[in-house]
Structure formats: C-alpha cells, structure tokens
Structure 1
Amino acid sequence: MKWVTRALVALFILIVLAGAVIGGAFFWFQQQIHMEGPAAGGEDQIVLIERGSGVIRIGQQLEDVGLVSDARLFRLAARFTDKQDGIKAGEYEIPADASMVDILDLLESGKVILHAVQVIEGATIAQAMRVIEEAEFLTGDMPAAPAEGAFLPDTYHFVRGTTREEVVNRLINAQRNLLDDIWPTRQEGLPISSRDEAIILASIVEKETGGIKDDDLVAGVFINRLNRGMRLESDPTIIYGISKGERLTRVVNGEEVQRGIYLSEKNRETPYNTYFIAGLPPTPICNPSAAALRAVLQPAESEYLFFVADGTGGHAFSRTYAEHLRNVAKWRRIERDRREANGG
C-alpha cells in the first residue's frame, strides 16, 4: 500500500503547488490592478467614454493612451470588481497615477467633466440659438428655433456629446417647470390672462431692468398702466420691432458703435411699438429671467405710472407726468455730464 501513500503525498504536493501558483497569480493580479498606472509622473488626461462603450472597447482605449498597461487586465479588473456594467458615459479627467481600480471607480462614479451653456438674461431666441450652435462640445444638427421667449436664461451644464436638440429641450422645459410652480401663486386681479401674456410682459420688464433688482417695481408700473388702459411706452419694444432684438448700430470713424433709437424709429408704427399699440405686443421681445417672470406675477403694489434711469444703476419712479419729466431732466443732465467727462 506504499504506492497509495506515495500517490496521496504526490497529490497533496500538487495541490499545494497549484494553490501556491493560484495564490501567486492572484497576488500578482491584485498588485497589477492596484498599482499606479504607466502614465504615473506624467500629466492627467481627459478621456471621452462614448455612450454604449463596453469594457473591451474602454480597456483598449485606455491602453492606447497609456493609462493602463494591458487592456485584458483592465477587463478582468472590471469583472473582478463587478463594475463592468456600472460604467457611465462621459468625459473624465483621469489622474496620471491612477490604478486600474481607481479608473474603474471614477468611471462608475459618473463624475464627468461638465461644460457650460450660458444663455444670458434678456437674450433673444436667435442669440441663444447661436450660443448653442457654437458650443463645440455639443453634437447634432440645430433643431428648429422655438418661439421667442421660450427659454429660461441661466447657465446650464452638459456632458460632451450632448445633442443640441437635448439642450434646446432642456431650456424650454426649465421655463415650463418654473411657470408650473409660480403661475398658480399669481396675484389676483392682474391684467394678464395667460402664461403667454406673462412671458411677454416679463420680457419687457427684463429689457427695461437688465437685472438691476427692481423688477417688481417696474412690473408694478406696467401693471398699473395696463389696468388704466395706458400704453406701455417701452423703448425696448421699439428696438425689437426694428431689429428683432439685435443692437442698433451706426458707423463712427469707420467703426460700428451702438446707438440709441432715432426719433423716426420712435414714430414708426410696428406691431411692437408700444408707443402706438395698446396693451402687449404680439410676442415676447426676449427670454425673460426667473426674476422677471416672478415680478410680473407678484408685482410691487404702488401708484407709480412712470420710471426712468436714475444714474446709479436703478430707476426713479413717479406717480405723475410732471414728476416724471423732472426725473427725465435729471437723467439727461447725468448723460450730458458723462459725455463731457469722456470727451464727447
């Protein structure tokens, strides 16, 4: 029976050796996937993981740029750590010294690089669509432009590869969601019968105030005028009727500079000239901010019917036309003094 004993001993030795080999291989594997990557000491890299990419494609992509030593090991590491199905698409900044496990943790976290699309308050749809079209990190063709005033101005963040249509829809939905929240809270008795009318009036308030924090008072003036059957007499509506919101310019010494409204333009009848038309113009004249939208639904209560710039970034408000003329005269003096100070 000695041969049986020798066979058992040999089998035991083989098992021990196999275990040692497996244990050694496992130790080596753990060491490889946790050690610093081959790019350690170099610069961090930005890598775009495209939608639908699997671990085979991602591993090869990382090997090609020198962030992992072996794409096959990366695939094994993904399976071993159970992260092969949790990787999120997007643009990542990967540290040069990141291990395979570090990279997998980052790709699973979804902490992608975000890029900003800024639609400034008071921009027209045409101006906002140009911003979207020129954003190089977006993809796809430009969708049809929505109606004027359909966007909620703000700074939005998107991952590289987002389509331009997705961006347009997000800006539209942002305004709709805001109006869903604030429309039911509007003051009673407002001369505004629909959300569309609220957007139109808010766009005028936006262009008159430029975000200088007295939106509610300016909105109150326009509400008072509408309630009394007075015309709004807002200069920004004249500009929109002339240029669709693009700045008015003239050429001085061969250079194009911004100009004011000519008297002939002020006297020109257009559907947007609120010195001639009663009530609201037919469409918004820009994309109004959240503050302007809230202001027209919750305007400041006052007896003011007029306002003009006061020279400090705000407005001077008045109840009577005579008082308003005095405020206008003050503003004209401020404008004249500024021109003289600037050599003009």
Structure 2
Amino acid sequence: MWRSIASNTLTLLIVGLFLLGGLILWGQRQYETTGPLDAAICLRVERGSNMKAVSRDLEAQGAITNGMIFRLGADYDDKAGRLKAGSFLVPAGASMEEIVDAVTRGGASTCGTEIVYRIGVTRVTAQLRDLDPETGQFAEVAAFDPLAEDEPGVFAEKRAEPDTRYRIAMAEGVTSWQVAEGLKAAKFLAGDVDEVPPEGMLAPDSYEVTAGADRAALLGQMQEAQQLRLNSAWESRAEGLPLRTPEELLILASIIEKETGVPEERGAVASVFVNRLEQGMRLQTDPTVIYGITKGKAVLGRGLRQSELRTRTPWNTYVIPALPPTPIANPGQASLEAAADPDSTSYVFFVADGSGGHAFAETLEEHNRNVAKWREIEAQRASD
C-alpha cells in the first residue's frame, strides 16, 4: 500500500514537474515572441510608476497578451526595478522582452513631444511637435515667433512635462548675432550669453539639448564643431587657391553660403570668386554690402541702393579689392567644402536666372546678355 502511494506520488510529482517546465517554456516563448500590436504606439511611463501599471496600460492598448507574463519576465531579467519615466515608441509586433528593454534602458524618450527652436535667416520659430507612432513622423501642434510673440500656454504646459525633448536647429547662413538672440529667447535654456561668438564660427546643425542646458556651453559646442569642420576643409583644400589662411577660407565659404541656396551651384559660385581673386578683380557681391550695413543684426528687407553700393565699408566688395575682413554669416559644411575645392571653370560672372539659380558667364558680353534676361524676368514678374 505504502509503495503504491509513494509510486503514485512520485508519478504525480514528475508529471507536475513536466507541466511546470512546459508552463515555463510556454511563458518564455510568450515573453520573447512577436507581440500582437498591429501599429506602433507611444507608451508614456509616468514618474513613480511601476511594472504593474505599465503592464495594464500595455494590455489596454493591445500591445501584450498577458500582464503577468510581462511582469514575471521583467523580474526574471532583473529589470523590474529599472523602470524609467518618459515616452517610448513601441513598434508594431514588439515582443514583451523588447518592450521591457525599451522602458528600462534609460536615455532620452523615443517618442512624444519635442520643442524645436529653429534659428533661421529671416526669423526664429519655436515649434511644438508630436511624433505620430504609426508613421514615425513628427506633426506640428503649435508654433510661434519667440522674438515677437508671447509664448502660447501649451508650450509652458509641455515644458513642465519631464519627458519633453528639446532641439536647437540652426540654419546655414545665419549670423552669430542671430544665433545668440535666438538662444536667449529659448526659455528652456539657462545661463547668460555674455558676448556674441566670432562671425562664421558656429556650425549650422541640429542640436539636441536638455531642459536647463547652459547657453554659453551650447555656443561653445557649436564653435568646437565649426572649428573641426574648418580644420578639415583647410587640410583637404585644393592646391593653388588664393587663400592664405583658414580664416580666409571661412570668409569665402560664408559668401558662397549667402550667394546661393542651390546645392549644385556651390562649386561654380566658389570658382567665380576664386577666379576673381586670382585675376585681381573685385568680388562685387551684394551679401557683403548688406553685412556692412546691418552687421548681421537685422535682415535688410529691401534691395540695395546705388549709394550703398558706392559707400566704402570694410565689407563692400564693390569698393574693396579683396575679401572682406570677417565672414558675413555661418557657413555650412557644403559651403566650406566648396570654398576648399571649387569647380574648375573660367567663370567670372553670375546673375540670377529666374529659376532660383544663376546663369554663369566667362565674358562681360555674355554676362550682360544674362543680366538683360534677368531684367526681363523681373519686369514680367512686376507686371504680373
């Protein structure tokens, strides 16, 4: 009798162990396998939350099939206590294991709200954007000009949320004064801007920052990036350029940046100025004259007057026979590269062609024909 009881007990124990093992294997597969989510979602984890609350939210959004397996898997991976606050992108089909990794890894939020300060040539724009998890694209929620308008309430609300991300987007061709003023208007930054950085020495780029980041430190980061770009362009420059120093290359790059917005033209524009320098011709470029008037602290907003083209300033290249003494804006990488390695041409003239680009010429006669065409286009546009 006792043998029978012991035998039956042992059999039940073995069966139980097999069932338990099978259950564990099943749970592991559920934890690691592709999840049921048809489309990506943005999962927000509040500060002070826990895995139980997160698993309930995921179940409610159809991202996981079993909250208990989700929590047990997090415990087994020793990640249950590493939950981070923020907004996290959960892709379609994400496994429970992948979701646990996303909400415990740390670092910046991967979806949700982003405030972008765009420092452009004509204006500064503060933009509030939300990521659409299904498309992976940001959609604008609100925008305003922080230099001319009061901040909408929604911006202050979003700045109070801990998982809001911030970005400073600096356009190519802006002046250092414009950048400094733009950063002063960014309320999520801290610290003073005691002096405007040297013209041309800020790298146009998109900079991700954190709330409370120091303005002066950010400007220092921009300067370091531009110095690296300038050093690289100077070291790889073509032989025989009429440029004596990296600073002269930077000046030329800034003029190229302001003369054309067509990427394919930069090399040709650079060749015109290099050819003129080699032949002892004045550069005769309007953006330098404008800089002599505004010093980079305003947009002229009108055409140049004949009197301004004749007035001597250190930047008026219709009067001075060489490069101006400083850059006239902050050039981007492509303009630096064009200045360092211009196209090989015989062009010494260019004028707008009506398409957004320019018509180039080797002779004054050809240039005059191009100018006449441009005047016709201007007249037609005026009459229209």
* 2:241 corresponding residue in structure 1: 190
> Aligned equivalents of 1:82 and 1:316: distance in 2?
66
Is the 2:262–2:356 Cα contact (8 Å) retained in structure 1?
Answer: no
Change in Cα spacing, 1:119 to 1:335, as seen in structure 2 (3 Å) is same
* 1:238 corresponding residue in structure 2: 289
Is the 1:186–1:297 Cα contact (8 Å) retained in structure 2?
Answer: yes
> Aligned equivalents of 2:348 and 2:214: distance in 1?
43
Is the 2:361–2:367 Cα contact (8 Å) retained in structure 1?
Answer: yes
| Bigger shift: residues 122-131 or 211-220 | 122-131
SS state at 1:186 partner: coil
Is the 1:125–1:147 Cα contact (8 Å) retained in structure 2?
Answer: yes
> Aligned equivalents of 1:173 and 1:85: distance in 2?
39
Is the 2:350–2:358 Cα contact (8 Å) retained in structure 1?
Answer: yes
* 2:213 corresponding residue in structure 1: 163
Q: How many corresponding residue pairs?
A: 321
Change in Cα spacing, 1:295 to 1:46, as seen in structure 2 (3 Å) is same
In the TM superposition, what whole-angstrom CA distance separates every residue of 1:158-203 from its partner, at most 9, and x where no partner exists?
A: 2653725464344334333333433222111111122221111111
* 1:92 corresponding residue in structure 2: 88
> Aligned equivalents of 2:186 and 2:86: distance in 1?
16
Is the 1:240–1:285 Cα contact (8 Å) retained in structure 2?
Answer: yes
Change in Cα spacing, 1:66 to 1:317, as seen in structure 2 (3 Å) is closer
Question: What are the ranges of 5 or more consecutive residues in structure 1 without an aligned counterpart?
Answer: 1-18, 35-40, 68-73, 250-258
> Aligned equivalents of 2:212 and 2:83: distance in 1?
17
SS state at 1:307 partner: strand
Cα drift, residue 298 of structure 1: 0.7
Change in Cα spacing, 1:219 to 1:105, as seen in structure 2 (3 Å) is same
Kindly indicate whether residue 196 of structure 2 is the aligned counterpart of residue 141 of structure 1: no
* 1:82 corresponding residue in structure 2: 78
Question: Which amino acid is the alignment partner of residue 281 of structure 2?
Answer: M
- Relative to the length of structure 2, the TM-score reads 0.62
Q: 297, 302, 313: which one pairs with 2:340?
A: 297
> Aligned equivalents of 1:229 and 1:338: distance in 2?
36
Question: Which amino acid is the alignment partner of residue 312 of structure 2?
Answer: E
Change in Cα spacing, 1:48 to 1:117, as seen in structure 2 (3 Å) is farther
Question: Which amino acid is the alignment partner of residue 92 of structure 1?
Answer: F
Cα RMSD (Å) of the superposition? 4.9
- Relative to the length of structure 1, the TM-score reads 0.68
Cα drift, residue 207 of structure 1: 0.7
Identity %: 41
> Aligned equivalents of 1:292 and 1:169: distance in 2?
21
Change in Cα spacing, 1:147 to 1:46, as seen in structure 2 (3 Å) is farther
> Aligned equivalents of 1:180 and 1:172: distance in 2?
12
Change in Cα spacing, 1:86 to 1:199, as seen in structure 2 (3 Å) is farther
